[in-house]
Amino acid sequence: MITIENVPQHYPSDIDLYLFHEGTLYEGYKMFGAHFERSEDREGFRFTVWAPNAGKVSVVGDFNNWEAGKNPLARVSKSGVWTAFIKDIREGERYKYAIQTPEGSIILKADPYAFYAETRPSTASLTCRLDGYEWQDSKWIRKRDKEDIYHRPMLVYECHLGSWKKKEDGRLLTYRELADELIPYIRENGFTHIELMPIMEHPYDRSWGYQITGYYAPTSRFGTPKDFMYFVDTCHEHDISVILDWTPAHFCRDTHGLGRFDGTPLYEPTDPKLTDRPQWGTYNFDFSKNEVISFLISNARFWMDVYHVEGFRIDAVSSMIYLNHNNDLPFELKNKNGGDENLEAIAFLKKLNTAVFSKFPKALMMAEEATDYPLVSSPVEDGGLGFNYKWNMGWVHDILRYMKLDPSERRNHHQLITFSMLYAFSENFVLPFSHDELVYGKRSLLNKMPGDEWQRFANLRVLYGYFMTHPGKKLLFMGSEFAQFDEWKDLEQLDWNLFGFKTHRSFLHYSSELNHFYQNTSCLWRLDHEGEGFEWIDPNDAQQSIISFIRKGKRKGDYCVIVCNFTPAVYHHFRIGMPAEGNYLEMLNSDAKEFGGSGQLNRKPVQSVPEPYHNQKFSMEITVPPLGITIFMKETKKRSAVVRHIK
């Protein structure tokens, strides 16, 4: 027999309620939702929910035949928070809140703070205990928390778990199966981080997780919350950091979700002009409500606290900053000052980042921000938004526009590959070749490249080389590492059958070697965000579509010289300026035959001579490969031992 106990007088406490309504309850997941409790004479779950405009609230589920009113919650104050302890409820029980609206009707809502949910298409929340998992990553976390993220390599593998790989019968892999197969794969191929497209519970597969109903629940498509803990734990075991894609801008309209939660606009704005996001068919969050602020900031800290993730890529930041960005409304929105900025959203972003970094100083907070809004990755105290990284959408747009051109036309658009260096250090940038570039008819990276088959692969090799040597951290969408030919098909697995073709096997070998070279070459990341880490040798050779530059590390003599050729022409005895005298080794050449190239290599050490060139005191003559990148470093015994060329 299910019975209602008296609401504990100590919980929710007055201070918790005060902080919640002030917008500073940053661990709200400890108060709200369904929490297991046990004492000498009782065992069950305590339920707490915010529904300020409800006439009544009760918990319904299989345990009471979904009968509204049978297990009521008590309103603990005028604040609109309701709570009750229900005895004898077990873990895994289905439940929802039955909410009486101001009009007197009863609506059923999933728990906004639920830790687990039924697998689609079912929509109930599930009682769940998050304790009991034995984490094995304490040593790894101590190491992580000592590292300087800005001066370390970062190569992110962006992944959609539902379409990375599937079972033979088409079913999805579980979190545990993905942990045991996906994580060793990306570690072997030289990635340092994995970014998961949203894994918070969502009803529709084809939203890719960007329209969420359960912000506190890892989707049950792939298993249980503890299965996801195992996934993260396995990532850390393999020295892989975990970034979650997160959408605090908007949420889906499904009736069991957050929309009109108590029969009135609650999580969304009350002003109907501000409620809808027509382009996505969603509701905006209302950043003027302190309780919504508490909900979202608590959610960010929840994933870091409970699931040990390293941080977030925050989706659609531009649409949060600007009222009319990606807004298809037939009228223009204005703030109270007559401007286009969403003042409340900007204040929220600053508060979010301040709250996250106060608890997790080494967190990764990456903004997907596509405008020229200033100081996105600068600290709040310096007038910034407080993120520590921003996606460099301008670079991606320019370089892909350039690479789509026939090589004979590139000389007329040379600025597309050099312009980025005018602003490369204005923010802490991530260079993202993300899923956004590979869907809706945009074609895969390989299929964007011009020319015959050989030229397409060669173009992609030089693109990846420039990507890896350009200042900024890196992100690559899954499948791009082996040159997937088709654009991303979100309902199917990647085209693993391409490994039957030598061209794709050779390309994976190239991208893996390039990734590992990047990780092991400190001058390619040590000063990613500082102007001293980059120097042009020659950015002006538009006629031959060749650029050359130096990437520098912190220590004297820690540098490499990079030459990129964006045409099929081969140049022998090509002179470039060099910063110092000595013998230089070609450490990597994308035209090596083992990578699918034509074999135009610099097989022997090349000596620089004291002949000034390109504003450098020294120079040397090299072979420049067709549609290729070549990287030189000063000869040492150690480097001589690792240089490998296929003759």
- The DSSP secondary structure of 332-390, one letter per residue, reads ----TTSSSB-HHHHHHHHHHHHHHHHH-TT-EEEE---S--TTTTS-GGGTS---SEE
pLDDT score recorded for residue 642: 66
pLDDT score recorded for residue 172: 97
Residues 297 and 187 in one domain: yes
Q: Is 242 helix (H, G, I), strand (E, B) or coil?
A: strand
Residues 261 and 396 in one domain: yes
pLDDT score recorded for residue 374: 96
Say what the pTM is.
0.95
Residues 274 and 423 in one domain: yes
Please give the C-alpha separations between residue 428 and each of 265, 300, 301, in angstroms, as whole numbers.
37, 21, 22
Q: Is 302 helix (H, G, I), strand (E, B) or coil?
A: helix
pLDDT score recorded for residue 647: 41
Q: In whole angstroms, what is the distance from residue 574 CA to residue 624 CA?
A: 7
Residues 627 and 484 in one domain: no
Q: In whole angstroms, what is the distance from residue 639 CA to residue 646 CA?
A: 16
pLDDT score recorded for residue 12: 86
- Residue 151 in domain: no
Q: Are 475 and 432 in contact (CB under 8 A)?
A: yes
Q: Are 18 and 79 in contact (CB under 8 A)?
A: no
Q: Is 210 helix (H, G, I), strand (E, B) or coil?
A: coil
Residue where a domain terminates, one of 524, 553, 577: 524
- Residue 137 in domain: no
Q: Could you read off the pLDDT of 607-635 as tens digits, one per residue?
A: 999 999 999 999 999 999 999 999 999 98
- Residue 49 in domain: yes
Is pLDDT of 487 > 70?
yes
| Peptide bond between residue 225 and the one before it cis (omega within 30 degrees of 0) | no
Task: Give me the catalytic one of 158, 286, 310, 368.
Answer: 368
Q: What is the CB neighbour count within 10 angstroms for residue 147?
A: 11
Which of the four pLDDT bands, split at 50, 70 and 90, describes residue 42?
A: confident
Residues 491 and 629 in one domain: no
Q: Are 116 and 220 in contact (CB under 8 A)?
A: yes
Which of the four pLDDT bands, split at 50, 70 and 90, describes residue 638?
A: confident
Residues 48 and 74 in one domain: yes
pLDDT score recorded for residue 9: 44
pLDDT score recorded for residue 542: 98
Which of the four pLDDT bands, split at 50, 70 and 90, describes residue 646?
A: very low
- Residue 135 in domain: no
Is pLDDT of 1 > 80?
no
Residues 518 and 536 in one domain: no
Which of the four pLDDT bands, split at 50, 70 and 90, describes residue 640?
A: confident
Task: Read off the tokens for 328.
Answer: 């298809």
Mean pLDDT of the chain: 95
Is pLDDT of 399 > 80?
yes
- Residue 33 in domain: yes
Please give the C-alpha separations between residue 262 and each of 7, 48, 57, 201, 242, in angstroms, as whole numbers.
21, 14, 9, 20, 35
**CATH code of the domain containing 34:** 2.60.40.10
Cβ neighbors of 179 (< 8 A, separation 6 or more) are 230, 231, 233, 234, 235
Q: Are 340 and 323 in contact (CB under 8 A)?
A: yes
Residues 478 and 366 in one domain: yes
Residues 266 and 375 in one domain: yes
Is pLDDT of 410 > 60?
yes
Q: Letter for the amino acid at 581?
A: E
Task: Read off the tokens for 438.
Answer: 């590979």
How many independent structural domains does the chain possess?
A: 3
Query: Does the annotation count 490 as an active-site position?
Result: no
Residues 210 and 107 in one domain: no
Q: Are 369 and 432 in contact (CB under 8 A)?
A: no
- Residue 610 in domain: yes
- Residue 157 in domain: no
Q: In whole angstroms, what is the distance from residue 59 CA to residue 88 CA?
A: 14
**DSSP H/E element including 549:** strand 546-552
Spacing of C-alpha 541 from chain mean position: 36
Q: What is the CB neighbour count within 10 angstroms for residue 379?
A: 16
Which pairing describes strands 389-391 and 364-367: parallel, antiparallel, or unpaired? parallel
pLDDT score recorded for residue 142: 95
Q: Could you read off the pLDDT of 110-149 as tens digits, one per residue?
A: 999 999 999 999 999 999 999 999 999 999 999 999 999 9
**CATH code of the domain containing 627:** 2.60.40.1180
pLDDT score recorded for residue 644: 52
Q: Are 4 and 84 in contact (CB under 8 A)?
A: yes
Taking each helix axis as running N to C, give the angle between helix 175-188 and helix 225-237, from 0 to 180 degrees, rounded to the nearest 10. Answer: 20
Task: Read off the tokens for 46.
Answer: 């305590």
Residues 470 and 543 in one domain: no
Residues 626 and 485 in one domain: no
Is pLDDT of 477 > 70?
yes
Task: Give me the catalytic one of 315, 398, 427, 487.
Answer: 315
Domain housing 100: 4-126
**DSSP H/E element including 237:** helix 225-237
pLDDT score recorded for residue 17: 94
Q: In whole angstroms, what is the distance from residue 56 CA to residue 616 CA?
A: 77
Residue where a domain terminates, one of 499, 524, 549: 524
Q: Could you read off the pLDDT of 336-394 as tens digits, one per residue?
A: 999 999 999 999 999 999 999 999 999 999 999 999 999 999 999 999 999 999 999 99
Query: Does the annotation count 368 as an active-site position?
Result: yes
Site of tokens 């070697």: 513
Residue where a domain terminates, one of 477, 500, 524: 524
CA neighbor of 437 nearest in space, from 472, 484, 506: 484
**CATH code of the domain containing 228:** 3.20.20.80
